[in-house]
């Protein structure tokens, strides 16, 4: 499986008459990395924007295991996309150095985040101008 840029992923479903079961294997099977950390976000009001950061090192896969939300991604080179998360069997892959905003959370939203790295606050870029500068430094030709 190839993973180029932010993209929607569809996971294997192993459901049967007893109900649904979604499998999300790491290390390049369903997602491109070995999962080192998970966290989940719930109880966020619909008007709130979360995220608003980019990560120098960490890749993520973000899944709404319940409810719905949206994610806007920007690469700092003029490209942006909006993904709607509204099914437990889909997720969005977000590579490193992508600015992300999560918003439009439904009341029942539970957003599960799978991360490739342990938490290190200093690899988060929380200022958009700093993000643009860091993109320029990595891509001097752009």
Point out which residues bind ligand TYD (CB under 6 A).
37, 39, 41, 50-51, 119
Catalytic pick among 4, 20, 53, 118: 53
| 53 in active site | yes
Of the pair 15, 39, the CB lying nearest ligand TYD is at 39
Of the pair 20, 120, the CB lying nearest ligand TYD is at 120
CB of 38 to ligand TYD, least distance (A): 9
CB of 100 to ligand TYD, least distance (A): 8
Q: Which long-range contacts (CB under 8 A, 24 or more apart) does 124-132 make?
A: 124/53, 124/54, 124/55, 124/56, 125/53, 125/54, 125/55, 125/56, 126/52, 126/53, 128/52, 128/99, 131/54, 131/76, 131/99, 132/76
CB of 17 to ligand TYD, least distance (A): 37
Of the pair 20, 36, the CB lying nearest ligand TYD is at 36
User: Token pair for residue 8?
Assistant: 């929607």
Catalytic residue set: 53
């Amino acid at each position: 499986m190839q993973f180029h840029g932010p993209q929607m992923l569809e996971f294997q479903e192993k459901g049967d008459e007893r109900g649904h079961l979604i499998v999300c294997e790491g290390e390049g099977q369903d997602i491109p990395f070995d999962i080192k950390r998970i966290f989940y976000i719930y109880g966020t009001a619909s008007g709130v924007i979360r995220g608003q950061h980019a990560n120098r090192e960490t890749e993520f896969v973000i899944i709404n295991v319940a409810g719905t939300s949206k994610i806007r991604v920007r690469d700092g080179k003029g490209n942006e996309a909006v993904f709607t998360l509204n099914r437990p069997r889909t997720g969005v892959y977000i590579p490193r150095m992508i600015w992300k905003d999560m918003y439009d959370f439904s009341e029942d939203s539970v957003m599960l985040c799978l991360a490739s790295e342990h938490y290190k606050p200093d690899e988060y870029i929380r200022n958009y101008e700093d993000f643009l500068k860091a993109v320029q430094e990595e891509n001097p030709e752009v």
